[in-house]
């Protein structure tokens, strides 16, 4: 191909890209967008934004951008024009207007691995219906009568497996505890059984793919995760079929002590919807809880005062139960754990288990003089608010006492 022929061949593509660039620039000119940098074409600033950093910091990318542009800035992330918010007021505004001005908008790769019916990717009425089903199952009464007892049982099971003077990984033990709890609560699977252990093995492979680059190529964690997802869904579907067969075989009532039984009995969801719901809740419940427990242990080992106060609080509850002749923990005991709740709140603040959320503007929105165009991605960065020195005294310091009722967590 000659030089002139190459120019003729490429000219239409170049002109199309130039025209698209001009149209985008004109559209943006109509809005008073926050300052920022859109980065490279297509990639934008995604690589820099996703660069690993400590959970107790906002990372170099966020620090530089907030310093340069302020707490609200524009960028190009995950292939889309984006407004990034480290502003507490805007983050609250976004979450308060969920479904009206903003909606969930996670990358397509998340839907590809969690399923199109996962609550993480659903929006509108279907998301609301799935959420209602889950919340009805986890009612206040069920938390008191079922979940609390199961939490204590699974905790004692893990503790009994530790040998005196042994060394263990807090993260591994936290994951074991939360997986056993979720498997029992969702599908009545008993810990240690071969089917439970096999499911756990596939789930570990699945999780490695969820947090990896979405490259569906042989040997990649994402490809392995898709395979494990298929195995997990077949397992859940088999459990569904077994329960349905029991009802057809003469069993009067379908048990609803676990989530699978509850959904089969109290909803009209399709098989595919039930499978994605169960998988997404297993993912959500396991990951957030196990990371939070591991972080609490990590923070507490550096705070002897908090450990001592925790011990005193739980010893008092234990002594009161012995005097009354009770053995199992109940809801009243849980409500007495006031300092324990402070430790949990401070762990979630400093540990930032969920660092940011994916949202999309449903309409043109104006906030503090800035415009958020309809269709733009919006990322409320929760960790940036949690670690904001204008909101919290010594935000990098683990201080559970800041959450006590007699004081205030936030600066006045």
Q: Rounded mean pLDDT of the chain? A: 85
Tokens 């994951």, residue located: 175
pLDDT at 8: 47
Whole-number Å distance between alpha carbons of 128 and 119: 9
pTM of the model: 0.83
pLDDT digits (tens, 9 = 90+) for 198-238: 999 998 888 888 777 777 888 888 889 899 999 999 999 99
Residue 106 main-chain phi, psi, to 5 deg: -80, 155
Residue 23: pLDDT over 60: no
Residue 14: pLDDT over 90: no
Beta bridge partners of 72: 85
pLDDT at 115: 82
Compute the CA torsion angle 372, 378, 383, 389 (nearest 10 deg): -10
pLDDT at 29: 57
Residue 90: pLDDT over 90: yes
Residue 20: pLDDT over 60: no
Whole-number Å distance between alpha carbons of 227 and 239: 19
Its sign, for the CA torsion 199, 202, 208, 209, is negative
Asked if 263 contacts 280 with a C-beta cutoff of 8 angstroms, the reply is: no
Tokens 């219906």, residue located: 129
pLDDT at 101: 94
Position 25 confidence tier, pLDDT thresholds 50, 70, 90: low
């Amino acid at each position: 191909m000659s030089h002139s022929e190459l120019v003729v061949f490429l000219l239409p593509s170049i002109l199309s890209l130039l025209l698209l660039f001009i149209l985008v620039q004109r559209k943006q000119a109509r809005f008073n967008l926050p300052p920022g940098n859109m980065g490279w074409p297509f990639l934008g600033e995604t690589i820099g934004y996703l660069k690993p950093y400590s959970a107790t910091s906002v990372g170099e990318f966020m620090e530089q951008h907030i310093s340069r542009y302020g707490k609200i800035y524009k960028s190009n992330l995950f292939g889309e024009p984006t407004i990034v918010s480290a502003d507490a007021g805007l983050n609250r505004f976004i979450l308060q207007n969920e479904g009206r001005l903003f909606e969930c908008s996670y990358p397509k790769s998340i839907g590809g691995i969690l399923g199109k019916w996962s609550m993480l990717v659903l929006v509108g009425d279907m998301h609301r219906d799935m959420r209602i089903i889950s919340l009805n199952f986890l009612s206040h009464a069920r938390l008191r009568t079922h979940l609390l007892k199961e939490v204590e049982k699974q905790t004692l099971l893990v503790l009994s497996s530790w040998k005196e003077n042994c060394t263990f990984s807090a993260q591994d033990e936290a994951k074991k505890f939360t997986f056993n709890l979720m498997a029992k609560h969702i599908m009545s699977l008993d810990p240690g059984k071969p089917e439970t252990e096999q499911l756990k093995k596939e789930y570990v492979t699945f999780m490695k793919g969820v947090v990896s680059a979405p490259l569906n190529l042989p040997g990649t964690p994402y490809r392995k995760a898709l395979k494990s997802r298929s195995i997990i869904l077949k397992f859940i579907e088999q459990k569904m079929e077994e329960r349905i067969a029991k009802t057809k075989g003469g069993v009067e009532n379908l048990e609803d002590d676990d989530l699978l039984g509850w959904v089969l009995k109290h909803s009209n969801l399709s098989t595919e919807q039930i499978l994605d719901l169960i998988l997404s809740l297993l993912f959500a419940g396991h990951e957030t809880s196990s990371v939070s427990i591991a972080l609490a242990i990590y923070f507490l080992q550096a705070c002897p005062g908090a450990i001592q106060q925790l011990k005193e609080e739980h010893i008092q509850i234990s002594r009161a139960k012995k005097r009354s002749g009770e053995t199992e923990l109940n809801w009243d005991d849980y409500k007495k754990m006031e300092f324990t709740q402070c430790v949990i709140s401070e762990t979630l603040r400093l540990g930032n288990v969920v660092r940011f959320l994916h949202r999309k503007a449903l309409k043109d929105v104006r906030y503090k003089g800035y415009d958020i165009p309809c269709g733009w991605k919006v990322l409320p960065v929760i960790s940036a608010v949690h670690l904001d020195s204008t909101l919290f005294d010594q935000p990098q310091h683990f201080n559970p006492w800041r959450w006590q009722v007699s004081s205030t967590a936030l600066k006045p």
